[in-house]
Amino acid sequence: MHQIDLNQARQQLPELLDAAIRGEEIIITEDGRPLVKILNATVSKPSPQFGSARGLISISDDFDEPLEDFKEYME
């Protein structure tokens, strides 16, 4: 992420656009407050891959057995 003041951004707009095209996030500020964010519109988050968590989660055999703490409510 790159932050730059509005007055500097006006002078360096072509360079800032090139940086955004390369994937850098540009924040333009005025008096230290964020005003504008420039992002590359073609960069997208990778989509989750089906089965990528295989082997990371296990469920015990008694998963669906009633809990001892709730026995009085089950009667």
- Side by side, which strands form the sheet with 26-30? 2-5, 26-30, 33-38
For the question of whether the overall pTM of this predicted structure is more than 0.75, the answer is no
Strands 33-38 and 2-5: unpaired
User: 17-48: per-residue pLDDT in tens?
Assistant: 999 999 899 999 999 999 999 988 886 677 88
Ordered domains of the chain (ranges, CATH): 2-38 (3.40.1620.10)
